[in-house]
Structure 1
């Protein structure tokens, strides 16, 4: 039945449902974007104007806030520390989680179900600051409490979500590929690195973005591990230090300017991983 042949009330229902859907999507988009717009606008205001309220747009555009935030937070140094931490955590998480997921999917071993259950339990049981002291004591024994490598190892160990994401991707790769590689004389580890891992690029892209974002936004662990060495502070810790200036007055405008600057690396990473997102989305639609 063509659109012209449909009853009037049916066309009205479809049009109304389409309007409701678009209204819902528009409201959701506005609620998502509005805080970002508020932050950008606040970063261009003076502190006095920001504290007194006023309109969304600044009366006088204070572009110098970005230069001041860069100077006070040692932005270049802290950004390098955050990039170093995030890249190391991302690479380590992908490597550990991918190898674990591959073995779980392709091999049977004792207590396999228990291992998967433990991985799942770490996703739903949040102990938070309870394990912070034991983690720090462990890194002290390993002599890693004065470097970012202690934070990197702790964050890499929290790879359960990445493990399950990659496990789902491994299940979509036919086992016949492994078997053919074994017949040609390829070892289990060689098949993983040279044949299977390249097929996992979409999953690695998505998982890597999540791992990078988690490490980039981490605050508590870098704060604890860099208390005795401020030069190793990450950007999140440095931005928090902007809250109060030398005169003990709140510097909200500088915090917002620093927050806007800190968003840029995440936007760049998202642009680079966008192709992987599109591949995953198209694959889920076809499935």
Structure 2
């Protein structure tokens, strides 16, 4: 009876994992095969696999979507947001973990509440008006500053990593004459490298996939549009015909930078996972 229970449990587990894998990979497969179809095949939707592979869709999507320019804009926004988010969130998490100050509990509560507010929807208008007052509404720096301000999830992620670093290291550094800031940048921050890698990947992905903010801030200057906004412009061609096949080709191209970033940060994922299993 016990053996049958184990077999049934494993069967259910593998069935669940297989179903999850199918639900995860099927949209990617649809996008990949759709990017290799003609426009007519996409409209009719007869088969999953294209009758003839249309690799020219990628070249056409690159040309129509001004990929080189939009990719640079997306990369600039994503890199600046990642650096800014990690710096702000890491400093905030370090102070909260290592220091006691008036309003500390209130600050943590506000950070927690910000995780449930959509930056791109509820507070879009006041944020835009604030950037107008700062004369940043016609540049990508307005988008960057707003995205950096949405760092609550990164703050709590890094706060957990800081709690795993012994306080004795801070005390030993201060005995040797190291100040609070120097201790943070020269001793504590290097030990946080795996956490920074994981948090940086999520921050980069969030900035790379952001659509509403770049759309609003670049309406009057198409040259500043990011890749997500440029891909949306591929939906209709010059003759108002739908170009879903080109949108999918562009989507496949836009995934490549994220894969590169993941491969760079993969070591941090492995270190974090290994440490949690070992602990």
TM-score bracket relative to the smaller structure:
over 0.9
Distance in 1 of aligned mates of 2:155 and 2:144: 17
Distance in 2 of aligned mates of 1:13 and 1:138: 61
Distance in 2 of aligned mates of 1:72 and 1:53: 24
- Pair 1:117–1:259, CA change in 2 (3 A): same
Task: Give the match for residue 178 of structure 1.
Answer: 170
Instruction: Tell me how far 1:11 sits from its aligned partner.
Output: 2.1
- The reply to whether residue 209 of structure 1 matches residue 220 of structure 2 is no
Note the alpha carbon deviations across 1:68-88, whole angstroms, 9 max, x for none: 000000101100000000000
Specify the SS of the correspondent of 1:245: coil
Bigger Rg, which one: 1
Count of residues in correspondence between the two structures? 279
Note the alpha carbon deviations across 1:2-44, whole angstroms, 9 max, x for none: xxxxxxx322221222122112111111110011001000000
1:49-64 aligned at under 5 Å gives the runs 49-64=41-56
Instruction: Tell me how far 1:127 sits from its aligned partner.
Output: 6.4
Contact 2:231–2:247, Cα closer than 8 Å, also in 1: yes
Superposition TM-score, scaled by structure 1 size: 0.95
Instruction: Tell me how far 1:126 sits from its aligned partner.
Output: 3.6
- Answer with 100-109 or 54-63: which moved more: 54-63
Instruction: Tell me how far 1:279 sits from its aligned partner.
Output: 1.4
1:87-98 aligned at under 5 Å gives the runs 87-98=79-90
- The reply to whether residue 102 of structure 1 matches residue 94 of structure 2 is yes
- The reply to whether residue 199 of structure 1 matches residue 191 of structure 2 is yes
Task: Give the match for residue 6 of structure 1.
Answer: none
Distance in 2 of aligned mates of 1:126 and 1:151: 15
Task: Give the match for residue 232 of structure 1.
Answer: 224
1:1-287 aligned at under 5 Å gives the runs 9-126=1-118, 128-287=120-279
Contact 2:120–2:213, Cα closer than 8 Å, also in 1: no
Specify the SS of the correspondent of 2:233: helix
Distance in 1 of aligned mates of 2:4 and 2:264: 43
List gaps (5 residues or longer) in structure 2: none
Distance in 1 of aligned mates of 2:134 and 2:237: 36
- Pair 1:125–1:229, CA change in 2 (3 A): closer
Distance in 1 of aligned mates of 2:131 and 2:151: 18
Specify the SS of the correspondent of 1:242: coil
Superposition TM-score, scaled by structure 2 size: 0.98
Contact 2:128–2:137, Cα closer than 8 Å, also in 1: yes
- Answer with 40-49 or 276-285: which moved more: 276-285
